[in-house]
Structure formats: structure tokens, C-alpha cells
Amino acid sequence: MDTRRRGLLKTFVEDVDGFMRLMEHMGTVILGLSALHLIQAKMEALELNDLDVYVTHEFDKEVVKHMKGKGYEMKWESERKTEYDGSAMKKIYKLMKNEREVDIIVTNWAGAIVPIVQYHSTAVMNYMTAHSLVCMYPEWTKNCQSLVNPQMYLNNGTNICTVMALMKYVRRGFCMSADPFKFSVHNCNMSGYCPNAVRNTIDGDTMRWNFEEVKMVGRMTVTCKDMAVVIWRLGGGECEEDSDEKNPGYIGVGA
């Protein structure tokens, strides 16, 4: 896995070790399709044309400066990434070098991975830190199944860009559904695959690959080098039949 990670980064930066040090020092993470590319089997991995780098607003200037120092040029910057819907995304810088593109997305939340739970579907709820690769819905992802984020339709978050993004993954072989029971039966409010369950980024339903040896606390692989723990609930309608109750989504950041 580490060889594939280095190969992915090498596509965009010549100094892979320097970029990984930047990720560690600035708390930078790689989210979405870039991380999904590593999670999928090598022969089945989706083609990757750009790199999505997420950073908190305290360090965005430093990350942009680093990429410019590696030959990237600013194409444009915007206060919002229009391809996605989510208040956790504050600003985006789009940089180009030859035919390679790096998007630096800035959040004003305490953790750079917070925007992940506002993504359009679970297929792209994956992230890579300087030390680990995490898949938040591994059973669905490995089977090319993806639940549409309930907040996309409960909060009128769906627009043409969202629909186009969902269709892109359908064309790439993913089965999209707004009904989690289409994929499997689950224990409502208890299973990590119930949209109304409260989850966190270190719970037992996530899948984590560590690129280096870590110390264990009981059975939990939490290290001081990791991101702040993010707590979330996708929300949506109750799983019980004939229930019209709707549960709001939730995002929180722990220590």
C-alpha cells in the first residue's frame, strides 16, 4: 500500500517525502477520489486526473507556497468549490503544472477532514493523512455501492453539479441508492451502516491502513500524529416503515 501511495503522489510531486512532511506539519489530508484510488484494487482503480488536498485555514498560504515552489501555477481561486455542496468548505485554490491539477480546499473547521461527511455520497468518504489511509464505509465501497448523503435532498443541497457528480460514479461502476437497505440489512441506529447512527473516525466500522507502526491503546489505533476525531451522523428518514420522521445530520470535532 505504501508503494501505491508513493506512486500516486509521485504523479503530482517529484519530492514525495517533502510533500508528506508538509502533510504532517500542516495537518493536510487528501480526500475523495484521490483516496478512493488507493482503496480500490489496482486493476480496478478509477483514473485519477487531479489531487484534492484539504487544509485548515491557518495553513492554506503555506501549502499554496509549497506547491508554487514545486512549479505549480495558480489557475484561479474561489471562495467556494462549486462542484460540491457544504458549508465546511471555505475556499479553493486550483493550481496547474503541465497537465496535472491540484485543488487545495480550505476549511475553517478545526480538522481538515470535516468536509468529507458533507460529500455527495459514501463512495468518496475516504481520506489519507501523512500516516494512514481511512475508508469510512468499507463494506459498501469495496462492493462499489454508495449511499447518497441524505443531506443532499433533505436540505435542498442537490443541484446540477451534484447530479453530475453522482452520475460520474454510476458510469464508473458504482451502484447509487438513497436507501441503505438496498445494499444490506442493518441494525437501525446501531450499525455503522445505518445513516442515523452516530459515527466517528476511529470507530470499529471504519477501515484504516497505517503506513507505519503505531502504538496501541487497548484495541484502538489512535496516535498523536492523527487528525482530530470527527463525529458525524448522516441523518435522513427513520428506517422503520411508515415513519415520516427525519433526523438532521450532525458534525462535531473531538480532541
Half-sphere exposure of 168 (CA within 13 A, CB side): 15
CA gap 162, 154 in Å, rounded = 14
Cβ-in-10-Å burial (0-12, 13-18, 19+) of 98 comes to exposed
**CA 193 to chain centroid:** 17
- Read off the pTM: 0.86
* The pLDDT value given to residue 168: 87
> Could you report the per-residue pLDDT of 179-221, keeping only the tens digit for each?
888 888 777 767 899 999 999 999 999 999 988 765 555 655 5
117: nearest Cα among 239, 39, 234, 235:
234
Give the helix/strand (H/E) hosting 2: helix 2-10
30: nearest Cα among 20, 43, 42, 40:
20
The C-alpha cell of 138 is what? 468499507
- pLDDT range class, residue 224, cuts 50, 70, 90: very low
Domain ranges, ordered by start, for the chain: 2-253
